[in-house]
């Protein structure tokens, strides 16, 4: 019985407790439900906002596409206007080009007259020039046919030197004088004039005595050095050109030649001998002419040996006229030229053997 009472009491208590907690639980449940509803509404609003945004974006995209579609429609008009403007400019340029071409054609039409005048003037000048051209061609032919000749005079200066210089000056001819040292001292004015007139000068020694000059290599060298100093003292000109007395054969042996060359002296002989010292005055000119005809100028130019004497001076114009008529051009010998001298070929020997 007691157990039943206890059970009843417990049951009632539990019922009471249960009835007390129900409203609270219901309130809590209501709050939960409301909260869930709020969240659901918020979610719906979010979804709605997202949808709205998607719709708006889609709308904007469509409007943008529409705008893009509309712009191409607008551009062709601009393009057409640009093309039209380009065509108009092209037409304008074409007109300008045509005008320019027309102007060029007009100038081209105008120029022929000027060209004709220029051609006419050229023809006139050509007509005026033939005589000058012919003279020039003639002068060129003469120069092409000119043959060089070297006129040389030994043993001077003398009283006849001035006559020789006058004749050479008259014919505008140059020569080379190989002078003796004592004669230079005797006629210093002739030496000075020879240099002043532009003639070549060389040395011929002092004694003109084969026994003294060719006594030794040293004696030959000494004579040339003395003559060199005297010429320089009188004229201010120093020369190394020499011609030994009677030529370099037979007494100028190789030992003599070596000594002279070591002291920078340059030996010059001749290839045309006038023999003016031993024949009549007119005869020497004929001797020269005959030798000139036999000499081949392509191998070596004529080097004519003459002497500074009155007989040679008197007939010199005859020789110069012949040279001029036969296109010979006289030039001087200088140290730039390749020297011409006799070669021994076993023909040279000391003067002591000749004695």
> Taking the CA atoms of the chain, what radius of gyration do you get in angstroms?
64
- Residue pair 200/241 in contact (Cβ under 8 Å)? The answer is yes
For residues 49-68, average pLDDT:
50
pLDDT (0 to 100) of residue 355 = 73
Among candidates 314, 303, 306, which has minimal Cα distance to 268?
303
Quote the distance between the C-alpha of residue 240 and its chain's center. Answer: 36
Residue 127: predicted pLDDT:
46
Residue 154 falls in the annotated catalytic set: yes
Terminus-to-terminus CA distance in the chain, angstroms? 204
Q: Could you give the CA distance from residue 338 to residue 278 in angstroms, rounded to a whole number?
A: 30
CA distance 279 to 335: 32
Average pLDDT over residues 181-202: 98
* 5: CB partners within 8 A, 6+ apart: none
Residues 18-43, mean pLDDT to the nearest whole number: 45
Pairwise CA distance, residues 295 & 37, whole Å: 147
Whether 49 shows a pLDDT value over 50: the answer reads no
Mean of all residue pLDDT scores within the chain: 77
- In this prediction, residue 204 carries a pLDDT of 98
Contact 318, 165 (CB under 8 A): no
Catalytic residue, candidates 154, 155, 269, 276: 154
3 against 33, higher pLDDT: 3
Please give the model's pTM, rounded to 2 decimal places: 0.62
User: Among the options 199, 204, 208, 307, which is catalytic?
Assistant: 307
Backbone dihedral angles phi then psi of residue 180, each to the nearest 5 degrees = -90, 145
Count CB atoms within 10 A of the CB of residue 326: 14
Model confidence band, residue 128 (pLDDT cutoffs 50, 70, 90): very low
pLDDT in tens, 163-177: 999 999 999 999 999
Q: Which pLDDT belongs to residue 200? A: 98
């Amino acid at each position: 019985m007691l157990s039943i009472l206890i059970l009843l009491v417990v049951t009632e208590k539990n019922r009471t407790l249960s009835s007390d907690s129900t409203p609270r639980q219901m309130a809590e449940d209501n709050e939960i439900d409301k909260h869930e509803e709020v969240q659901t509404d918020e979610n719906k609003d979010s979804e709605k906002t997202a949808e709205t945004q998607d719709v708006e974006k889609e709308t904007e995209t469509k409007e943008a596409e529409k705008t893009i579609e509309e712009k191409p429609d607008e551009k062709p008009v601009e393009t057409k206007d640009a093309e039209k403007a380009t065509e108009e400019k092209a037409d304008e340029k074409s007109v300008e080009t045509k005008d320019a071409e027309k102007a060029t054609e007009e100038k081209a039409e105008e120029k022929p007259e000027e060209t004709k005048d220029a051609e006419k003037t050229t023809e006139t000048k050509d007509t005026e020039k033939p005589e000058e051209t012919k003279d020039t061609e003639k002068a060129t032919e003469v120069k092409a046919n000119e043959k060089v000749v070297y006129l040389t005079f030994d043993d001077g200066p003398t009283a006849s030197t001035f006559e020789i210089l006058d004749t050479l000056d008259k014919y505008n001819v140059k020569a080379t004088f190989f002078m003796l040292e004592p004669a230079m001292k005797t006629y210093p004015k002739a030496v000075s004039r020879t240099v002043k007139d532009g003639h070549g000068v060389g040395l011929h020694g002092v004694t003109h005595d084969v026994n003294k000059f060719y006594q030794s290599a040293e004696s030959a060298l000494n004579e040339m050095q003395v003559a060199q100093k005297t010429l320089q003292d009188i004229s201010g000109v120093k020369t190394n050109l020499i011609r030994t007395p009677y030529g370099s054969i037979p007494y100028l042996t190789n030992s003599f030649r070596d000594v002279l060359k070591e002291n920078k002296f340059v030996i010059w002989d001749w290839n045309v001998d006038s023999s003016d010292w031993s024949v009549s005055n007119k005869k020497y000119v004929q001797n020269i002419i005959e030798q000139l005809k036999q000499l081949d100028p392509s191998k070596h130019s004529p080097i004519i040996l003459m002497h500074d004497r009155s007989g040679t001076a008197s007939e010199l114009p005859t020789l110069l006229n012949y040279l001029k008529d036969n296109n010979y051009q006289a030039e001087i010998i200088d140290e730039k030229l390749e020297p011409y001298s006799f070669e021994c070929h076993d023909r040279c020997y000391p003067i002591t053997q000749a004695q």
